[in-house]
Copies of this chain bind each other. A is one copy, B any other.
């Protein structure tokens, strides 16, 4: 998985590289969510000094993947259902607004780019074998493009620079390549249409519904799971 965040800058310093490695490890769950981070241990593991490791930890903190307490240490963030739902609430607000701004600020080139992407998705989806690709990378690509098209640096930083690392982490760890592929494609299509039309109000509404639908999908699946677990316990 190439980790293609559009705000990503090429790693130049060693702290950069360790940061990316750790980011990947946390997102994929190789470093367990909620686990404590031992500076001496990890420094030895990556063959760097503690200063450099701490620099990397600071960047992980910036994208909300680890939390640090003074004189206590760092922990990887926890993945809780409540946290996931809260994340989707924030996404709904921010990406909805990004959509509205995209409808105002998008360039012709970006419109063409997005329509080309959509066409490619529809083809690979029709082939069905690319379905998992669509879910994972394709969906991210779509959302990233919309956000960038807002041309609002605040929104871009908040969403791409911070929220989406968590989004990817949750997707990996909860194993959510949800069965909303075809519906998501149609929704993406409608959103791009509204943006192209310059209809910011509609674009925002559609994006908010799109994300809210994902959230409700998760909520209902969680509810099902909970029922199943209760049944198991009671039998």
Contacts and interface: CB of A to CB of B under 8 A. Distances in A.
A12 B71 contact: yes
The DSSP consensus for interface residues of chain A is: helix
Interface in A84-106: 86-87, 89-90, 92-94, 96-97, 101
Given A58-B58, A70-B13, A92-B97, A86 B155 contact: yes
Given A90-B158, A93-B94, 19 more contacts: A12-B70, A13-B71, A16-B70, A55-B58, A61-B62, A62-B62, A64-B157, A83-B153, A86-B152, A86-B154, A89-B152, A89-B154, A89-B155, A90-B97, A92-B97, A93-B93, A154-B163, A158-B158, A158-B162
Interface residues of A, number: 30
A92 B204 CA distance: 13
Interface in A142-159: 152-155, 157-158
Contact of A90 (B70, B83, B89, B152): B152
Nearest to A97: B93
A120 interface: no
A157 B87 CA distance: 11
Interface of A: 12-13, 16, 51, 55, 58, 61-62, 64, 70-71, 83, 86-87, 89-90, 92-94, 96-97, 101, 152-155, 157-158, 162-163
When all copies of this chain in the complex are counted, the total is 2
A55 to B, nearest CB: 8
B154 A90 contact: yes
A152 B51 CA distance: 34
A40 B157 CA distance: 29
Contacts of A89: 97, 101, 152, 154-155
A7 to B, nearest CB: 13
